[in-house]
Amino acid sequence: MRRLRDIWLVAGADLRESLRSWRALLLLLVFAAGSVGAALLFIEVLSQAEAVAARALRVPATDRPGALTSTLRESQELLQVLNDLIGDEAVVREVLEIPPIALFYGWVALTFVPALATFVAGGSVAGERASGAARFALARTDRTSWAIGKLAGAALLLFVGLQLAAVAVWVVGALQTTGMPLAETALWLTRMAGRGWIYGLPWLGLAVGISQMTRSTYLAWGLCIGGLILGGALRGALNLPRVEAWDPALIGAVRVLLPGSHELDLWRSDWADRAPAAAILLAQGIVAFTLGHLRFLRADA
């Protein structure tokens, strides 16, 4: 209980400090603005798709998109767009029940959350060790509680950021489209933000893990960005047919270790499909955090 109390105190202080700092606010604003921009782009695509559908149905096109959404959900054009975004037709059919703008936000969140998590958490421990601020806390609580508190603070900040962006997207959708089911869309946007957050957990664990391994903020950022690039490159390489053919069992096993391999499962509508992916992503985050923490425990604070 005492440990939980300390973790909560550290996380709360970290979240408040982040929200007061211009850097974290700027980061969240950039993400929210990016989400809004992407939503506007999507609305434009939706508008064009609706125009195509309207011509096919020989009905008048509308000024604001959304009027033909139910028809559109069954259209081949949208199916193609979603296929391009998600990459799995079975999943696409499952997610077609999701309001289009929430669906699109989900894609934005899952695509950009690794970078967001890295920027939110990459300097969290290293920065405080470099400035010496860590020592004020470490005279009062143990390293494990403090580091978990920093991780929890970053996770809370990521959650806040994703939910704020979801609200911004909802407002844009409500203003720019007609017939958007407000409550249903709000619910789905919240769910998508939550799924994005779960997908961010391994990246948060990796970022805080790396951040515990050095006292240099710049080195921590560099290693985190390197990890992002390496993860993306490895995922891309493993998807090459030539590589997959080399040793399918081994490649399959390596793929399980990469967070990106579990992204698709988060799109599925059934919780039974999503839960294992969420558990694996959480475990990946814990392992990455722990590896960094083991080094931090032996190092000078």
Q: How far is the CB of 19 from another protein (least distance, A)?
A: 8
Q: How far is the CB of 154 from another protein (least distance, A)?
A: 15
Q: How far is the CB of 8 from another protein (least distance, A)?
A: 10
Q: How far is the CB of 34 from another protein (least distance, A)?
A: 24
Residue 18 or 69 with smaller CB distance to another protein: 18
Binding site for another protein (CB under 8 A): 2, 6, 9-10, 13, 16-17, 20-21, 131-133, 135-142, 298-301
Alpha-carbon gap, residue 100 to 59, rounded angstroms? 21
Any residues with CB less than 8 A from the CB of 59 and at least 6 apart, and which? 68
Alpha-carbon gap, residue 210 to 296, rounded angstroms? 10
Residue 13 or 96 with smaller CB distance to another protein: 13
- Spatial CA neighbour of 289 closest among 135, 141, 132, 121: 121
Give φ, ψ of 83 to 5 degrees: -60, -40
Residue 131 or 178 with smaller CB distance to another protein: 131
**CA separation (Å) from 22 to 17, 163, 242, 257, 288?**
10, 19, 47, 35, 28
Residue 74 or 142 with smaller CB distance to another protein: 142
Q: How far is the CB of 16 from another protein (least distance, A)?
A: 7
Alpha-carbon gap, residue 105 to 164, rounded angstroms? 12
Residue 20 or 242 with smaller CB distance to another protein: 20
